[in-house]
Amino acid sequence: MNIYDLNVKDRTGGEVSLSEYKGKVLLIVNTATGCGFTPHYDPMEAMYKEFRDQGFEILDFPCNQFAGQAPGNDDEIHEFCTMKFNTEFPRFAKIDVNGENADPLFAYLATEKPFEGFGKGLKMAAFSKFADANNKKYGDKAYIKWNFTKFLVDRDGNVVSRFEPTVDMDVVKEAVKALL
């Protein structure tokens, strides 16, 4: 199996084959509109505008599994993102990324690039403890630890990097540039 064998739902409920993105560099991210990391939309949109003509796509999957930080339906989330952050990259239907109903895409991504930590320091240790408490209910199906976890996929469909939300967006941008 590879990423191009998977299908997802667009925000209107239509089936989308990820094979439509063959040959492109992808940044796949689970998002939330009410999270402390929501400002990541700004640098993500800037990257999208800068690199989309070079074969770059951001695939946005809203998720409400982390402290209920993505309330609202798909249309409300889309309106928030386009009005507040002027996002133009594709946004898909709200999904679960953990547990029995985890979307197969995120289960696959997390299996390819497992969680390795949020970083060092007291602040990261406290955040990790908070995330662990939230995700305890998912047991061995706690694939994603928090909102704005990003997976970088190369043009051949290989998952090459995982960036936790605590990773500086400049680091993410440099990794994207290296693949383009």
Q: Which residues are catalytic, by number?
A: 35
Please give the angle made by the CA atoms of 20, 166 and 4, to the nearest 5 degrees. Answer: 15
Task: Please give the Cα distance from 145 to 123 (Å, whole number).
Answer: 16
CB 143 within 8 A of CB 131: no
Residue 41: count of CB within 10 angstroms of its CB: 22
Residue 22, phi then psi, degrees to nearest 5: -55, 140
β-bridge partners, 57: 26
Task: Please give the Cα distance from 153 to 27 (Å, whole number).
Answer: 6
Q: Residue 24 has which token pair?
A: 């492109």
Task: Please give the Cα distance from 101 to 147 (Å, whole number).
Answer: 17
Task: Please give the Cα distance from 73 to 52 (Å, whole number).
Answer: 27
- First CA to last CA distance, the chain: 24
